[in-house]
Structure 1
Amino acid sequence: MKYKDYYEILGLERSATQEDIKRSYRKLAREYHPDVSKHSDAEDRFKELGEAYEVLKEPEKRVAYDRLGSNWQNGQDFQPPPNWDEGFEFSGPGNEAYARGNLDDFFEAMFGGARRGHPQAGPSPVRGQDHHAKIVIDLRDAWRGAERSIVLKLPVVDEQGHVTLQSRTLNVAIPKGVRAGQHLRLAGQGGAGRAGAPAGDLYLEIAFNEDARFHVAGRDVSIDLPVAPWEAVLGAQVTVPTPDGAVEMTVPRNSAGGRRLRLKGMGIPGNPPGDLYVVLNIVLPAVDSEPARAAYEAMRQAFDFDPRARFYG
């Protein structure tokens, strides 16, 4: 998607108050309104102003926008940084799916349809809003379950009109077998109710920390395992790491590089559990001594082997 600098569009610094944003939008909207403006680009500018104001006027959208970073340039191709929304608590409908075309679509996908809690006449009870946040856990927590202390930050507007983040700490039980993208419901931990009505719920979306060795797809997990050429050709017993400890596995004889070996039921626990796939990566020893060079020369002499025999057709 293309990045748009909403502060630049409204002629503001990032430290602007919510009142500054409203004031600047009203001034520029009058100047560029297509019905009265003499600017040749009035219609496009008016749409840009509306889009910028729609995001920055809402504290939640503004904080989310600010968390994307401040070093992007207008029109630059960009994607949100990984887990940019970790620990960000908001009252939208959930952030499990984003539009990928435009920045305004991105925020509409995240916050569209949220109940904003506008004041209503009378003291009638109103249940609190449901809140959402993403938390990132280690992969091994999905195998064993865990107790984790998490810090969430909720956007609020202070007395000076600046948007700040209010922190709170929660102790959360991570259930065994939890999957990436799954939501944990914490009853009564959302927005406060009014006139004695109950609070809303808090929904925590689960994501996994990136792991240099393991790759996750649903409940299935895969790992690239280095093996020596003789282990692949002659077969071997090898130790395979998993997020829940090491296991022993047999490498069959005459295994090629890239072969996927399935360890049934050894993925993320569940009903049924996922599988663990071990992908063989044949690693060649370095020629760093005369005996090593002689061993490669002896192998070349021992085999009548052309690796490109079928390559040229």
Structure 2
Amino acid sequence: MEFKDYYATLGVEPSAGEAEIKTAYRRLARKYHPDVSKEAGAEDKFKAVNEAYEALRDPQKRAAYDQLRAQGYRPGEEFHAPPNFNGGQGFDFEEIFGNGGAGGGFSDFFESLFAGQRGGRARGGPGAGPQPRGDTRAKLAVPLEAVYSGDSVRITVNGKQLDVRVPKGVTPGQVIRLTGQGSNGGNLLLEIEYAAHPQFEVDGHNILYTLQVTPWQAALGTSIGVPTLGGEVELKIPAESDAGRKLRLRGRGLPGTPAGDQIVELEILAPAPTDEAQKKAYRNLAKAFGESV
């Protein structure tokens, strides 16, 4: 398999902080999202960006990956994970879920690093006899849409596909038990975590979303369609809004008691002029408003 440079995939330096990595991920995920991008190969690029962020957003995974990268591997070079490599996970993804892991859709390179951990159970060789039953634990990365609506997610367990019902409003750390679906006929305990999302972040039961608006939309006010986990809704942008202003869509967060809200933070983005008429419009703005902000 080929070594992957996850920093290059996200377009950041290896010294980048968490905030910079998150910003790069969100920008690229929006750009290549299959529902938005018409660019050739966008779906593959979207998957690559998701995989890179999954590897770098977790401090344990990132530290383990950095140790390998420091050995001088280059993108495209033949790579084999060293024996006893600890990718920062304490769960037996490979044995339980097979190729694809709990989150699904990751490359062989990712799986060799992070999905090949052994949970400390003895493995039988020739003549070893049957292994004792016991609960098997693994993490399940759940899309926010499934948490919002209580949908099912499909996983592959010991070579067969199962639809796992996600309780509406489930929180990270909660455990779903699949009776008899673990190794050797034991139970499979799935610890919930939220999958990274290209548009939203989570703060408790609240959903955080950054909305880009033009200077004139912020200054004059307007209504804009905003995505939420339950579908697009119209959001009124008050006149004379500044960058960083936060607007609240009540009840549009994750289910709970009470339900969370969606917090929309405004980001003012001035589009680059593409022709002389637009440049002239900017010059007129400069004359009207002056140089000071």
TM value normalised by structure 2: 0.54
Indicate if the aligned counterparts of 2:91 and 2:118 stay in contact, CA closer than 8 A. no
2 CA distance for matches of 1:178 and 1:189?
21
Deviations 1:33-55, CA, capped at 9 Å, x for gaps = xxxxxxxxxxxxxxxxxxxxxxx
Give distance in 1, aligned partners of 2:217 and 2:292.
21
1:258 pairs with 222, 236, 244, which one?
A: 244
**In the alignment, residue 143 of structure 2 is paired with which amino acid?**
D
1:97 maps to which residue? none
1-side partners of 2:278 and 2:89: how far apart? Answer: 44
What is the Cα deviation at residue 278 of structure 1? 0.8
From 194, 216, 232, the counterpart of 2:202: 216
Residue 290 of structure 1 and its aligned partner are, at CA, apart by: 1.5
1:178-189 to 2 correspondence within 5 Å?
178-189=170-181
Residues 102-113 of structure 1: pairs in structure 2 closer than 5 A: none
**Alignment-derived partner of residue 68 in structure 2:** 72
Q: Please, which runs of 5 or more residues in structure 2 have no aligned partner?
A: 1-60, 73-84, 98-116, 124-131
**What residue identity is the alignment partner of 1:245?**
G
Pairing partner for 1:132 from 137, 153, 157: 137
Counterpart contact for 1:131–1:201, Cα < 8 Å = yes
Question: How far apart are residue 145 of structure 1 and its match?
Answer: 1.7
Change in Cα spacing, 1:248 to 1:84, as seen in structure 2 (3 Å) is farther
Amino acid at match of 1:145: G
Structure 1, gaps ≥5 residues long: 1-64, 91-109, 118-126, 154-166, 193-198, 308-313
TM-score by length of 1: 0.51
Change (3 A) 1:134 1:168: farther
Cα deviations across residues 85-117 of structure 1 (Å, max 9, x unaligned)?
756649xxxxxxxxxxxxxxxxxxx989x7879
Native 8 Å contact 2:229 2:252 kept in 1: no
Aligned AA (2:177): R
**CA separation in 1, counterparts of 2:275 and 2:264?**
32
Higher helix share: 2
Number of the residue aligned with 1:244: 230
Cα pair 1:183 1:205 within 8 Å, conserved? yes
Q: CA RMSD in A?
A: 3.9
Give CA deviations for 1:198-221 in whole Å, capped at 9, x if unaligned.
x65321122333222111233221
1:207, 1:150 → 2: CA distance?
A: 15
The equivalent position to 2:155 in structure 1, one of 150, 157, 163, is 150
Structure 1 residue 273 corresponds to structure 2 residue 259? yes
* 1:1-313 pair list within 5 angstroms: 72=68, 80=87, 89=96, 128-152=133-157, 167-190=159-182, 200-304=186-290, 306-307=292-293
Contact 2:180 2:187 in 1 (8 A): yes
Query: CA 1:74 to 1:280, structure 2 compared with 1: closer, same or farther past 3 Å?
Result: closer
Cα distance in 1 for partners of 2:237, 2:143 equals 28
Distance 1:79 1:230 in 2: 52
Aligned residue pair count? 194
Q: Distance in 2 between matches of 1:284 and 1:297?
A: 14
- Whether the aligned pair in 1 keeps the contact of 2:137 and 2:188 (CA below 8 Å) is yes
Contact 1:87–1:135, Cα closer than 8 Å, also in 2: no
Task: Give me the identity figure in percent.
Answer: 36
Task: Tell me, in whole angstroms, the C-alpha distance in 2 between the residues paired with 1:267 and 1:208.
Answer: 14
